Amino acid sequence: MADLEELKRKRDQLTARIQAAEARQRAGQKKEDDRVKVLVGAALLDHIKQRGSLQPLDHAGLLSVMAEFLNRPGDRKAVLGESGCGSEAFTRLTRSQSRHTQGATSR
């Protein structure tokens, strides 16, 4: 019986460690998302200020605006990623709403 109790205690500790790691991961992802949102908003406001209006942008157009606006290496990496095709956070935030809401409606 002592072995079973010890295993249950270890399982509970491991579950708590997993939950803490997942919470840290979610917090880090939110921080990345918030940074990208601020940078995209600043770039779009600058774009409107310079051109007087904002034409509808597709994904490639938004990447182009961001590439033109961002000059700090850390900001470029946060938004554009290593390849320049969009970071993981940028892609997560700009993916099609139809795919995003489809999962919510099928629940």
Q: Which of 28-37, 42-51, 97-106 has the lowest mean pLDDT?
A: 97-106
Going by C-beta distance under 8 Å and a sequence separation of 6 or more, which residues neighbour residue 90?
Answer: 36, 40, 66, 79, 80, 81
**What per-residue confidence (pLDDT) applies to 98?**
46
pTM above 0.75, yes or no: no
Tokens 């790691």 belong to 21
User: d(Cα 18, Cα 11) in Å, to the nearest integer?
Assistant: 10
Whether 102 shows a pLDDT value over 70: the answer reads no
Instruction: Quickly state the pLDDT bin for 107 (edges 50, 70, 90).
Output: very low
Closest CA to 69 of 35, 32, 40, 94: 40
Tens of pLDDT, residues 49-98: 988 887 888 888 899 999 999 999 999 999 999 999 999 999 999 886 54
